[in-house]
Every structure is written in structure tokens, then in C-alpha cells.
Amino acid sequence: MTSSPRLPTCAFVRKVLELSPRAGYSSFFLLAAQRATGQGGVVHSYDLEDVLQRANLSAALRRLPYTPFGTPSGLRASEHWLHVGDARLTLPERLDAGGGAPSFGYLFFDSAHTGPFGAWIGSELLLRQAALAPRGTPASIHDVFRARP
């Protein structure tokens, strides 16, 4: 009996939204999952500052042991976009850029660990995405707290 690695949902979508990549650890796992399928994709990361350690991220991607679809390579410009600035100002228009269809197939939030930012994610991003994708969009939220009413 052979076994294959189980891949997370983000591996099977073309466009991933990531909030606050910081050094790029979560970016690595999102990109590695997409590469494992051989279908490709792109991760759009939003952060207040450009502190993503691209050289480390690229070196780690080159060392991926599981590459059934070609030889390992470093970070390709076409598979990762870092958008610098306040996501509360730039991201809503990006979500609506799909012409009525959802712009992203997977949402990953690992952002400011504050109530107000958590409330913004719930009231703005998730509700807007729900309107664009009534059947649902997979999302992961890590350490983001919702403000108390």
C-alpha cells in the first residue's frame, strides 16, 4: 500500500490571500503546498512593512524534497506578490476586483493580534468574501482576536 502526502486546501486553489507574512514562514508553507500539486498558483501577501526575508524563503523553497513536477527552484516572482501598506485601505478594492467572482480561493490571516483588527477582518473581509462566494471560501485565522462588543 502506497501513501501520498495529504495536502491542505490552499494547495488546490490558484490565488491565496495572506495577511501579515512578516519573515515568511507561513508564506513558505503556502507556496510549498501549491507547488506540491504541480498546478501552480500565486500567494498575495499583505503587510505594513517589507520585512519578508526573500532570500531565506527562496533558499528554503529550493530545498523542498517533494517536487514531482520538475526540479526545485527558488522563489519565482510570478508565484508571490508582497503588497506593502495598510491592508484595510488596499485590500477591499482587490477583493472586489474579481468582477463579481471571488478574487481569492483561500484566506490566511495571521495579523495584528488586536481586537479592532480582528473585528475588521470579521466585519469587512469575511463578509465581503461571503458575498462574493456564497458557497464559502476556506480560511484560516491564527492568533487574531475579535473585539468585545
Q: Quick check: 105 and 137 in contact, CB under 8 A?
A: yes
pLDDT at 73: 67
* Cα distance between residue 74 and residue 13, in whole Å: 21
How far out from the chain centre does Cα 103 lie? 12
Q: Is the dihedral of CA 10, 12, 13, 15 positive or negative?
A: positive
* Cα distance between residue 21 and residue 8, in whole Å: 18
Cβ neighbors of 13 (< 8 A, separation 6 or more) are 41, 104, 105, 106, 138
Helix (H, G, I), strand (E, B) or coil at 17: strand
Per-residue pLDDT of the chain (149 residues; tens, 9 = 90+): 344 456 666 777 888 888 888 877 788 888 888 877 777 788 888 888 887 777 777 777 777 665 544 555 667 777 888 888 888 888 877 776 666 666 788 888 887 667 788 788 888 888 877 777 767 788 887 776 655 55
The domain limits of the chain are 9-141
Alpha-helix residue ranges (DSSP H) falling in 4-136 = 25-37, 54-62, 87-95, 115-120, 127-132
Q: Which three cell numbers stand for residue 14?
A: 490558484
pLDDT at 7: 64
pLDDT at 2: 42
Cβ neighbors of 25 (< 8 A, separation 6 or more) are none
Question: Which pTM value belongs to this model?
Answer: 0.76
Q: Does domain 9-141 have CATH number 3.40.50.150?
A: yes
